[in-house]
Amino acid sequence: MISDKMLKMLNDQINAELFSSYLYLSMAAYFESENWNGMAKWMKEQSSEEYEHAMKFYHYINEVEGRVELEAIEKPKFGWNSPLEAFEEAHKHELYITDRINKLVALAIQENDYATNLFLNWFVNEQVEEVATVSQIVHKFKLIGDNKTSLYLLDRELGMRASK
């Protein structure tokens, strides 16, 4: 039902999504160590969301009678020079994940794998939202610079992120 090449790439995507979760949890730990509790909460929510993405791939592979194969998760970075730097890295990472999703879609189209293509459409839309959200946060950081009051307010705003 699903090609070996597609199965391999879907399993690799599980690993990439779990790494994303791990990376954002590491960023949350960094923010907590710096007393940016709102930013930490935002990153913990993002970490949970990325774990849910991994589980979507996990369940899909099982639904199409594939075999989930979990690999070791790379150790994430654990320190940044500033909140801006952490969010810039998050933005760069979301662009990387978007590229991976696009490659999965391209393979699904090439293989006429309509079911997987349909499944991946949710992720295409999700990545548009993820990249836009992090991009807006980076823009806010650049706009406010080192203004402590504005950083405090942004931290507070990011802490109001609700679970999906």
Q: What is the pLDDT of residues 6-28, one digit of tens each?
A: 999 999 999 999 999 999 999 99
Q: What is residue 126's predicted lDDT score, i.e. its pLDDT? A: 98
Q: Which residue has the tokens 């791939």?
A: 57
pLDDT digits (tens, 9 = 90+) for 115-164: 999 999 999 999 999 999 999 999 999 999 999 999 999 999 999 998 87
Asked if residue 150 is part of any domain, the answer here is yes
Asked if residue 163 is part of any domain, the answer here is no
- Total tally of structural domains belonging to the chain: 1
Asked if residue 139 is part of any domain, the answer here is yes
Asked if residue 87 is part of any domain, the answer here is yes
Asked if 53 contacts 126 with a C-beta cutoff of 8 angstroms, the reply is yes
pLDDT digits (tens, 9 = 90+) for 48-57: 999 999 999 9
Asked if residue 164 is part of any domain, the answer here is no
For residue 72, count CB atoms less than 10 angstroms from its CB and return exposed for 0-12, middle for 13-18, buried for 19 or more: exposed
pLDDT at 1 > cutoff 90: no
Asked if residue 37 is part of any domain, the answer here is yes
Q: What is residue 75's predicted lDDT score, i.e. its pLDDT? A: 97
pLDDT at 58 > cutoff 90: yes
Q: Which domain holds residue 12?
A: 4-158
Q: What is residue 163's predicted lDDT score, i.e. its pLDDT? A: 80
Predicted model pTM: 0.96
Asked if residue 19 is part of any domain, the answer here is yes
Question: Is residue 81 very low, low, confident or very high in pLDDT (cuts 50, 70, 90)?
Answer: very high
We report the CATH number of the domain holding residue 59 as 1.20.1260.10
Neighbouring C-beta atoms of residue 92, cutoff 10 Å: 11
